[in-house]
Amino acid sequence: MQTILDSADRPAHDAFVEKKSEFIGDACHISSLDEALAFVQTIRDQHPKARHVAYAAVCGGSDGRLAERMSDDGEPSGTAGKPILDVLRANEMTDCVVAVTRYFGGILLGSGGLIRAYSTGASIAVKAASKAKIVPCGEYQVTLDYPQLGSFQNLLSTVEGEQTDAQYTDRIALTVVVPQEQANVFESRVVETFNATVVPQLVGTSNRPVKV
- What DSSP string runs through 140-189? EEEEE-GGGHHHHHHHHHHTT-EEEEEEESSSEEEEEEEEGGGHHHHHHH
Amino acid 97: pLDDT: 98
Low-confidence ranges of the chain (pLDDT < 70): 62-63, 212
**What is the rounded distance in angstroms from the CA atom of residue 209 to the CA atom of residue 63?**
15
Amino acid 212: pLDDT: 64
**What is the rounded distance in angstroms from the CA atom of residue 93 to the CA atom of residue 133?**
9
Judge residue 164's burial from the number of C-beta atoms within 10 Å of its C-beta, 0-12 exposed, 13-18 middle, 19 or more buried: middle
Domain-embedded: residue 195: yes
**What is the rounded distance in angstroms from the CA atom of residue 5 to the CA atom of residue 81?**
22
Amino acid 152: pLDDT: 96
Of the residues 94, 128, 162, which one is the last residue of a structural domain? Answer: 128
Which residues does 87 contact at the CB level (< 8 Å), separation at least 6? 56, 98, 119, 122, 123, 126
Domain with residue 184: its CATH number is 3.30.70.240
Which residues constitute the domain of residue 25? Answer: 1-128
Domain with residue 23: its CATH number is 3.30.230.30
Domain-embedded: residue 17: yes
**What is the rounded distance in angstroms from the CA atom of residue 210 to the CA atom of residue 212?**
6
Amino acid 56: pLDDT: 98
Amino acid 65: pLDDT: 84
84 and 38 part of one domain:
yes
Identify the helix (H) or strand (E) that includes residue 9.
none
95 and 147 part of one domain:
no
- The total of structural domains in the chain comes to 2
196 and 153 part of one domain:
yes
23 and 122 part of one domain:
yes
Judge residue 196's burial from the number of C-beta atoms within 10 Å of its C-beta, 0-12 exposed, 13-18 middle, 19 or more buried: exposed
85 and 170 part of one domain:
no
Of the residues 76, 103, 128, which one is the last residue of a structural domain? Answer: 128
Domain-embedded: residue 151: yes
32 and 113 part of one domain:
yes
1 and 27 part of one domain:
yes
